[in-house]
Amino acid sequence: MKRIDFIRNSVLISSGVLVAPSLIAQGERVNLKNRLTILHTNDTHSNIDPFPENHHKYPGKGGVARRYELIQQVRAEEENVLLLDAGDIFQGTPYFNKYGGILEMKLMTALGYDAATMGNHDFDGGMEGFVKARMSADFPFLCSNYEFKHTPIDGYTGDYTIIKKGNIKVGVFGVGIELKGLVPDNKFGESVYLDPIEIANDKALELRNQGCDLVICLSHLGYEYHKDKVSDRILARKTKNIHLIIGGHTHTFLDKPTEEKNLDDQTVLINQVGWAGINVGRVDFNFEKNVFVKNDVLIVE
């Protein structure tokens, strides 16, 4: 795996703000304590073994054992690593049909996932099915815009979580897609769907007020649609206080995060890594204490 080297041949895109060269140079001496590495997956869809060598599209790609090794290698190099998933863990191979998602949960726990959100397919075994599998997971499921009060899932998901990594305080919450029409009614029952934009704004503000340095939204809304249907790109534009949206649902392969401007005209990154565990996304944030207090200066390599 390639080591990531920081800030080479930088091009300055600035909104009329001068940036001291020394500040840029500092990037090369980043203290590991001040770096947070986020590893993420989405739509793994019960793909536990790698695709067969004769697979028409992704021969020999993926596999949970290899993902584990990859993650372990990153953990060996970095001090602060977060591992997150944006939903649709279930459905796609006989492992799910036969074992109902228990194996997927055991493996994610073994890989050390810090948090996940629910995708529509995570309702495929019904709500009781999810809860049964959930018993084998020891990381939180963050579903901020599903109200599960009168359902069997009540108490098995959370609103958000705050994780302290080194010097960095990270807030994570999750938003899901409207289930009506996508999931048979009896599989989500009395769950109430809340507006993801409104909820995302509420949760992000709350996390910032609690002193989070970085706010991450796990989203199963989908990257982008032709119609006005709410997506990660729309969510990014219509909210504030979110730094990174880790998306899913549309199985979108992004080589690099998409940059959007939020309501405060600040940059929000959106990332998604296809499906089936073919790729793992890595986003490194470097932090520096009280260096510079100006809005939105971007240096894009």
Partner 1 sequence: MHRTVLIIGAGLTACSSVNILSVKSESISVTDEFQKVSVVDSIVYPYRIALEEEMFEVIATTENNFTKSRPNGSLNNWAADAILNSVDKTTFGLTPYFCLLNLGGLRSPLNKGNIVLGDVYKLMPFDNEIVVVELPFSSLDKIAQYLTSSGGEPISNAVLDLNHIDLKRAVDDYSSFYVVTSDYLMNGGDNMGFFQENVGVIYTNILMRDAMISEAKKQGVLVFNNEKRIILE
Nearer to partner 1, 145 or 248 (CB): 248
Name 277's Cβ contacts closer than 8 Å, sequence gap at least 6.
Answer: 41, 44, 47, 62, 63, 64, 67
Q: Smallest distance from the beta carbon of 244 to partner 1, in angstroms? A: 8
Residue 167, strand partner residues: none
Give buried/exposed letters for 2-32 (b at 16+ CB in 10 A, else e). eeeeeeeeeeeeeeeeeeeeeeeeeeeeeee
Place of tokens 């203290």: 31
Q: Smallest distance from the beta carbon of 154 to partner 1, in angstroms? A: 23
- Is residue 99 within a helix (H) or strand (E), and if so which, with residue range? helix 94-99
Nearer to partner 1, 3 or 228 (CB): 3
Q: Smallest distance from the beta carbon of 15 to partner 1, in angstroms? A: 11
Q: Smallest distance from the beta carbon of 75 to partner 1, in angstroms? A: 13
Nearer to partner 1, 89 or 145 (CB): 89
Q: How far apart, in whole angstroms, are the C-alpha atoms of residue 173 and residue 203?
A: 7
Nearer to partner 1, 207 or 234 (CB): 207
Helix (H, G, I), strand (E, B) or coil at 158: strand
Nearer to partner 1, 228 or 255 (CB): 255
Return the structure tokens found at 274.
């296809």
Q: Smallest distance from the beta carbon of 155 to partner 1, in angstroms? A: 26
Q: Smallest distance from the beta carbon of 150 to partner 1, in angstroms? A: 21
- Is residue 186 within a helix (H) or strand (E), and if so which, with residue range? helix 185-188
Nearer to partner 1, 72 or 198 (CB): 72
Q: Smallest distance from the beta carbon of 197 to partner 1, in angstroms? A: 20
Return the structure tokens found at 142.
């963050």
Q: Would you say 273 and 281 are in contact if contact means Cβ atoms under 8 Å apart?
A: yes
Q: Would you say 240 and 264 are in contact if contact means Cβ atoms under 8 Å apart?
A: yes
Nearer to partner 1, 70 or 194 (CB): 70
Cα-only R_g, the chain: 19
Q: How far apart, in whole angstroms, are the C-alpha atoms of residue 101 and residue 112?
A: 17
